[in-house]
């Protein structure tokens, strides 16, 4: 980068307030995370007596001995938070895989095939994109009830296996990433359509697949209202619903609530750190063109 070589001292000075503001904004962003993580390891007395970690004579002026993992032990023994954790993993993985596969297939079909009815389907996608979720809450519940799917994972998962949002994103990705000649030559070589899709098309859509897996995993993991309305048996609850119920059971036991929250958000934060590049690219790809 030649521009950095010609960077004058004056311009460098301009960056000082920029860095200052960015560091302050970062601190404000991170403090709630730090506070929550600290609170999760404190007993209730220390929760009220210290803001972050309890003061003492230990390293960095902190009384490390007062920290405890009792909150986590109680979460996993007194309550079946381990079960809720598994439920969340199951629901989020299944819905992410299904939604990604169905969206990739549908988007590919809309981008690379010419067929009667294509325009109609494309319009359906656009209409589905603008229907607000809350409008479907009451009739959707009635439908799930009539189908006998209340209190089942099928009732929770089936409506989301092929989201219009995904079809739209994958259609755009397929238009850009899949050369028509490649499909033609594969067909001349006698490859079946399903084989073409799985061995040729899916690998070419990889960047969008990574982003969309992450988006749908996160969406299902964090979904509260769906399971809250559809599920009734506590053993089926994902973390979002189970953790909210902690509050009724342990209303004033703040350490418990914060350790439950930490257990709930740590997995997705880790996942994001691994996949953040793809994720952000996927988020903005639909928007940049306005």
Partner 1 sequence: MNTSGKRFRTEPSWVPWLFLSPFVITIAVFLAWPLIQSVLLSMQQTYGPKTSRWIGFENFTFLLSDPLFWKALRNTVIFACGSVFLQLPLSLGLAMLLNRPGLKGRAFFRLIFFAPSLVGLVFVGLMFALMFEKRTGMINVALHALFASFNPEFPWLQEYVMPALILAALWLYVGFNMIYFLAALQNVPAELMEAAALDGAGPWQRFRHVVVPEIMPVVSFVVLLSLLGSFQLFELPFILLNGPGPDNRGLTIVMYLYQMGFTANDLGYASAIGWVLAIMLGTFAFGQRLWLKREEKR
Query: Under the criterion CB under 8 A, does residue 175 sit at the interface with partner 1?
Result: no
DSSP conformation letters of 6-20: T--HHHHHHHHHHHH
Among 69, 126, 137, 154, binds partner 1 (CB under 8 A): 137
Q: Which tokens in the block code for residue 12?
A: 């460098």
Q: Which two tokens stand for residue 188?
A: 């001349």
DSSP classification of residue 199: I
Should residue 118 be labelled a site residue for partner 1 when binding is judged by CB under 8 A?
yes
If one asks whether residue 232 binds partner 1 (CB under 8 A), the answer comes out as: no
Count of residues of this chain found to bind partner 1 when the rule CB under 8 A is applied: 99
- Asked if residue 102 binds partner 1 (CB under 8 A), the reply is yes
Distance separating alpha carbons of residues 263 and 268, to the nearest angstrom: 10
- Reference 189, options 178, 181, 201; nearest CA is 181
Nearer to partner 1, 94 or 162 (CB): 162
Quick one: tokens of 159? Answer: 């409506």
Q: By CB under 8 A, is residue 78 in contact with partner 1? A: no
**Contact call for residue 61 and partner 1 (CB under 8 A):** no
Q: Which is nearer to partner 1, 57 or 264 (CB)?
A: 264
Q: Are 118 and 110 in contact (CB under 8 A)?
A: yes
243: CB partners within 8 A, 6+ apart = 81, 84, 257, 260, 261, 264
Task: Identify the residue among 53, 85, 105, 236 touching partner 1 (CB under 8 A).
Answer: 105
What residues numbered 183-222 form the site for partner 1, per CB under 8 A?
Answer: 184, 187-188, 193, 197, 218, 221-222
Residue 14 beta carbon to partner 1: minimum distance, rounded to whole angstroms: 8
Site residues for partner 1, 30-59, by CB under 8 A, read: 30-33, 35-36, 39, 47-48, 51
274 binds partner 1 (CB under 8 A): no
3-state class (DSSP) for residue 159: helix
């Amino acid at each position: 980068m030649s521009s950095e070589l010609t960077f004058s001292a004056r311009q460098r000075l301009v960056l000082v307030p920029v860095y200052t503001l960015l560091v302050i904004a970062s601190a404000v962003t991170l403090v709630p995370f730090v506070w929550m993580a600290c609170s999760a390891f404190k007993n209730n007395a220390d929760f009220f007596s210290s803001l972050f970690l309890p003061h003492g004579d230990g390293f960095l002026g902190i009384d490390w001995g007062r920290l405890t993992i009792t909150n986590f032990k109680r979460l996993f023994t007194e309550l079946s938070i381990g079960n809720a954790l598994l439920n969340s993993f199951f629901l989020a993985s299944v819905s992410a895989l299904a939604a990604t596969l169905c969206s990739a297939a549908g988007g590919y079909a809309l981008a690379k095939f010419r067929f009667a009815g294509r325009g109609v389907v494309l319009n359906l996608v656009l209409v589905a994109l603008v229907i607000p979720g809350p409008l479907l809450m009451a009739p959707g519940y009635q439908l799930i009830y009539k189908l006998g799917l209340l209190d089942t994972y099928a009732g929770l998962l089936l409506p989301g296996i092929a989201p219009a949002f995904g079809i739209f994103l994958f259609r755009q990705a397929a238009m850009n990433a899949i050369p028509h000649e490649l499909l033609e030559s594969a067909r001349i070589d006698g490859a079946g359509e399903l084989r073409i899709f799985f061995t040729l098309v899916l690998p070419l859509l990889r960047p969008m697949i990574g982003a969309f897996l992450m988006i749908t995993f996160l969406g299902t993991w964090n979904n509260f209202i769906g399971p809250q309305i559809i599920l009734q048996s506590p053993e089926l609850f994902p973390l979002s619903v189970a953790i909210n119920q902690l509050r009724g059971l342990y209303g004033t036991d703040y350490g418990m609530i914060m350790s439950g929250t930490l257990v709930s958000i740590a997995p997705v934060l880790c996942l994001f750190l691994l996949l953040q590049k793809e994720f952000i690219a996927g988020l903005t790809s639909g928007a940049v063109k306005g």
